[in-house]
Structure 1
C-alpha cells in the first residue's frame, strides 16, 4: 500500500473485492457529509445498490446524448454547478470516468466547481487504473478528485477482484474502517499478491508501455479516418468504433472482425468496442489494421435519438429494496414502483432504479434488453 500511495501520490489501500468494495467505502464516507448525493445517471449499479444499503438519496444529473456518435456524453462542470446551486444541501458529487465506451469527464473543471461549493468529488474510475501512466497524467486524484476507485484488474496485470481505493484528505485507517463494514475478513491473498507483483510492473515498465499503446491508438485512429470509420472516446485502452459511419451496425462490424480472429470486448447496435492493453502483441494490432482496411463502406446511417426515461422517484432506493414485492411482467407493472435495479451488463447502468415509477419508455428499453419481468413494490 505504501508503494501504491507513492505511485499514485495519494493515500491508497488495496481491495480484493473489486471496485464495488471501494464504492461502498467511498459512499460510507460520503454519508458523513449528509444523506443526499448528486450523481450522474450513467453510474454503475454498484452505486445505487450501495445507496440502498446506506440510505443515501441520489439526485440525478442526466447526461446529454450526442446523436452524431450515438453515445451519452459525460456530465459537464456547468451541469454540476447548476445542480449544486439548485441543491445546496448536497455536499458530495459522484461521477464515472472513464465510462465503458471510453469517454472521459473534465475532472479538473468539475473538481474546481465541487470545491467552490464545499462538496467532495468521488470518481468511479474502475476503468482508469492506467491513467497515472499515460503520457499526460490523467488520473482523477491528480486532477482534483477527493476519492477514487480503480479496478486494477481491468487495465493492469492483476487477478480479477484486485482494485485500488485512492484518497486525498483521508487516512488509510479511515478508508479501511469503512471497507470493513462490507468486506470479508478473509480477503483473497492470491489477489493481493497479484497487486504486489503489479506494483513492480508499474514502477519499472508501465509508463513506457502505455505511451506506446497511445502511439498504437493514434496509428489505428489514422487508419480508421482513411476508411471513414470513427474511433470514439479518449481512453487509450477503450477503442470504440462507430459502425454507422460506414453504414454498418455494430453487430455486422463485429462479424467482420471475427473473420480476422478478433473478438471485441462489447458490441451493441451502433458500436463495436475493443479493450486493448500493452500486452496485446504486434500481431494483434496488424490483424486489426488489416480488418479495418477491408471494412465494406456503405452510406452512413443516422443514430436514433435517445433520452433517459424521466425519473419519477416515489420511494428512496432503500425503502423500495426492502419493501414487500411481487413479480410482474413489465407491461403489467407500468405505474408501479420498481423494487430492484434492472440493468444490462455490460455496462451495468440501471435502466430503472429501485424506487422509480415504471413507465412505457422503461418497458421499451427493458424489452429491447431481453428483460420481461420485474419486481415491484406491493
Structure 2
C-alpha cells in the first residue's frame, strides 16, 4: 500500500485544495484569535488567589472551545458548554458525597449524566455533561468539590475570555464566499444556455448531456444555498453587521431567482438534450427558427452571467417563442415539443428577470 506522502504527491490538486482550505483568511484570523485568547486566559488564571491558580491550565481550554465559526455559535457554545460542565461536575460531587462504592458510583454517574445530557439541546454542552462528570469524579484526588469548582470556574472564565476576544476582533462575516458561489452558479447556468444554443444552430455540435449538467447545476445551487445560510448565521450577534453594511437581502432575492432559473433551464434543456424523448425537435425546425431561438438563449445567457437584462431581451424571447408556436410541425409530438420550448423560453426569461412565470 502506498504511503501517505506518496498518495499526497500523486494527487497534488487535492492536497493543494486541502491546504488552501486550511489557510483561508478566516481560518488564519481564527487561529490567531484562539492563540491570543488562550494566552490571556492562562495569564489571568495565574493571577487568581487560593487554589485556583493550581488549575490555571483549564482557562486556555475554555478559551479555545469558545472559538467557533460564527459569533452566535461562539455565544451559544460558551453558554451550553458552561451548563454542561456545571451539570456534570455537580453530578460528580453529589455521587462522591453519597459515599457509594466506587464500582457502583461510576456507572450510576455515567447513566445519570447521559440521561441529563439528553435534556439539553444538541451540541457540545450535551457532550460535556458525562465527560465532566467522569473527569471530576476520577481526577479529583479525593476532593471533588475543590477540583470541580476549579475545573468549571476556570473553564468558564476561559469561555468568557475566548468569546470576548472572538466578538471584539474581526468576528467572521462570510459574505464574499456567498457572492463567489452565486457567481459560479450564474456562470454554470449561462454555460448550459450557450451549449443548448450551439446545438440548436449546428446539428454537428455535440448533444448536451443533460443528466451530468443538471447534476452540476444542482450542486452549484446547493453550494450557493449553503453559503447563504452560512452568511446569514455569521451576521447574527455580529457587530460588523450593524448598520446594514453587509446586507444579505438582495443576495437572498438573487438566490431565489437563480433557483427558479435553474429549474426552468433544466426543463428547457430536456427538450433539446441528447436524453430527450420527444422526436423531431429540434431536428425538423426551420433554420431561421432555430437561429432565432439560439439568439434568444445566448441573450439570456449574458443576462444570467451579468445579472442584468433589457427590454430587447424580452422582445427577442417573445419573437422566438412566437416563431416556435407558428411552426407548422410535421407531427403532433413535434408540435408539442415546440410548444414546450416556447413555454420554457418565456418562463426562463421571466425567471431571469425576477418575474413570476404565470403567463409563460
Q: Which has the larger radius of gyration?
A: 2
Normalized against structure 2, the TM-score is what?
0.22
Instruction: Please identify which structure carries the higher helix content.
Output: 2
